[in-house]
Structure 1
Amino acid sequence: MDKNTHKSDYIGNRFTVPAEWDTVFTHFYYGENTGKTDITKILLPDFKPLLVFNFGSPMQIVGETEHVITDVAVTSPLKRVVQYSMSPGSVLLVANFKDDAFYRFFGTAMPAGHLFMHPDKLIDSKCFSLLHGQLKSFAEPEAKINYLLNYAKAFIADSTGLFDDAPEDDYFNPIKVIAQKSGLSERSIQLQYKKQLGYSAKELTRFARFQKVLSSPALHLPKGDKVNWFDVIEAFGYYDQSHLIADFKYYIGLSPLNYIRLQQEFCNPPALS
């Protein structure tokens, strides 16, 4: 969602991932503020970690903590709404990691309590500052992406495949199913979830249910029609109205009624846009 800006002041493009990289990245995103004023946007949660390069003016993140991205940053899996402001001249290239790819790429997870961090601090190196300078020399986003992919070849590890069998149905316990199929203990799977994905299976199941609520036809009615919230509560297994309201406020910072009023102004991308 944009605030106080004209669409012509912003350039944004989404780039698909080559087939050989589709287990690592969901997509790439390029954005540029070509105007003379700040552009403020809202990013909704999708439980994906990001690698963000800024090749222009600083970008301000306002979330659980404040952070300014001057060159490059990585994020923890985005679990709550994040607001960010692009100053004039900000130029972003964003890589969206898929599943355990962040852990496979960096060999570690984001420290607890950190929403954003410089990747060089994460791995105790200067390589991403150097990479930023190399990427900045390319004018076109496609060239930046190709260079980044060639760079990533030397670092990305093979997937363990441990989470490939995770059930998508909310009624199943993914930890129990994976443990049975892998021959590992449920406790071991729980630890690997947190270590490699950055969140617990319980957190993911809760978020998956909320995503289904947002995509439900019950919420997408003609203007003026009222949502039957009690039907939504029953259909998606919430205890009561306060339970549903808590999820709305936790993930997107809005009450259900305010979400309905403002949904036409929201975009719901899986990445910075």
Structure 2
Amino acid sequence: SDELSLKRNGKTHKVSHEAVVVGPSKDLFEITFVDQVYTLGINFHPGAGSVFMQGGIEPIIDSIEKCNDKAFSDINTLYEEVRQRLTFVAKETLFEQIESLLNQYLARYLKQAEFKFESLLIALIQKEDKPLDSLAIISELSKRDVQRKFKHYIGISPNVYMRIIKLNKIKTQLSKGDFGNFTQLALDNGYFDQAHFIRDFKYFMKLTPKEYYKLKKPD
């Protein structure tokens, strides 16, 4: 078989020989490979994927879309180019060829982003719990415009984005075993009680921090 199974929010999508866009979401996204499958996935940095989407990222929040719609014509064109390369390129140089193609293709969009998130994103990485007032000052926008831009270019609110940054930091610590105990891990990441920490982590990951640690426990 050459089929992929994509699952989110209890809905399963079967995919075969086609391009698919997976929108941003708070919910866990699962991929199941049926036998051996050739796949190419591009995980865009926040704000970068919007240049491919007519209408921005917001319309595809929480969704999985097949690229046979006009709004995804650029992505479908990229998919067809990659698919054709796979037919003629030697396996030894396959990844180099695909990387070269992607660099050429993405360069066309380099100057198309109307709103740059660099200063905001850097500020949030340095300190993930930043109030909306501060984000407005950094970006020289109103609070309403900051929220609107986040939804359009990233697909989620600033608050959810900050929670995800914190979650990713905790996941890295758990994967590496880089923490003393779970209580201290919670405190170090701004949680004042275990219940809140566990609830927040499980909301995104469907696992408790302890369950995730056991799954990723370093050897």
**Distance (Å, rounded) in 1 between the aligned partners of 2:189 and 2:107:** 42
The alpha carbon displacement at 1:94 in A equals 1.5
* Distance verdict in 2 for CA 1:228–1:122, change over 3 Å: farther
**Are 1:158 and 2:137 matched, yes or no?**
no
Instruction: Write out per-residue CA displacement over residues 11-63 of structure 1, whole angstroms, 9 at most, x where no aligned residue.
Output: xxxxxxxxxxxxxxxxxxxxxxxxxxxxxxxxxxxxxxxxxxxxx81111122
Q: Which structure has the highest helix share of the two? A: 2
The alignment of Structure 1 onto Structure 2 pairs a total of residues equal to 206
Q: 2:100 aligns with which of 122, 135, 146?
A: 146
**Distance (Å, rounded) in 2 between the aligned partners of 1:220 and 1:133:** 40
Residue identity matched to 1:57: D
Q: Does the CA-based 8 Å contact 2:5-2:33 persist in structure 1?
A: yes
Q: 2:68 aligns with which of 120, 124, 130?
A: 120
Hey, what does 1:93 align to over in structure 2? Answer: 40
Hey, what does 1:255 align to over in structure 2? Answer: 208
**Distance (Å, rounded) in 1 between the aligned partners of 2:103 and 2:83:** 15
**Are 1:61 and 2:6 matched, yes or no?**
yes
* Distance verdict in 2 for CA 1:233–1:155, change over 3 Å: closer
* Distance verdict in 2 for CA 1:157–1:122, change over 3 Å: farther
Q: Does the CA-based 8 Å contact 1:165-1:178 persist in structure 2?
A: no
Q: Does the CA-based 8 Å contact 1:100-1:197 persist in structure 2?
A: yes
Hey, what does 1:229 align to over in structure 2? Answer: 182
Q: Does the CA-based 8 Å contact 1:81-1:253 persist in structure 2?
A: yes
SS of alignment partner, residue 128 of structure 2: coil
**Distance (Å, rounded) in 2 between the aligned partners of 1:131 and 1:248:** 39
The alpha carbon displacement at 1:252 in A equals 1.9
**Distance (Å, rounded) in 2 between the aligned partners of 1:215 and 1:131:** 35
CA RMSD of aligned residues (A): 3.1
**Distance (Å, rounded) in 1 between the aligned partners of 2:13 and 2:186:** 36
* Distance verdict in 2 for CA 1:217–1:248, change over 3 Å: closer
**Are 1:137 and 2:74 matched, yes or no?**
no
**Distance (Å, rounded) in 1 between the aligned partners of 2:216 and 2:199:** 18
SS of alignment partner, residue 242 of structure 1: helix
Hey, what does 2:156 align to over in structure 1? Answer: 199
**Distance (Å, rounded) in 1 between the aligned partners of 2:53 and 2:199:** 34
* Distance verdict in 2 for CA 1:230–1:142, change over 3 Å: same
Answer with 150-159 or 198-207: which moved more: 150-159
Hey, what does 1:16 align to over in structure 2? Answer: none
Q: Does the CA-based 8 Å contact 1:58-1:69 persist in structure 2?
A: yes
The alpha carbon displacement at 1:119 in A equals 2.8
Hey, what does 1:172 align to over in structure 2? Answer: 130
Q: Does the CA-based 8 Å contact 1:63-1:81 persist in structure 2?
A: yes
* Distance verdict in 2 for CA 1:81–1:122, change over 3 Å: farther
Q: Does the CA-based 8 Å contact 1:245-1:255 persist in structure 2?
A: yes
Structure 1: stretches of 5+ with no match in the other structure: 1-55, 266-273
**Distance (Å, rounded) in 1 between the aligned partners of 2:58 and 2:175:** 37
Residue identity matched to 2:100: N
Identity over aligned residues, as a percent?
A: 21
**Are 1:111 and 2:59 matched, yes or no?**
yes
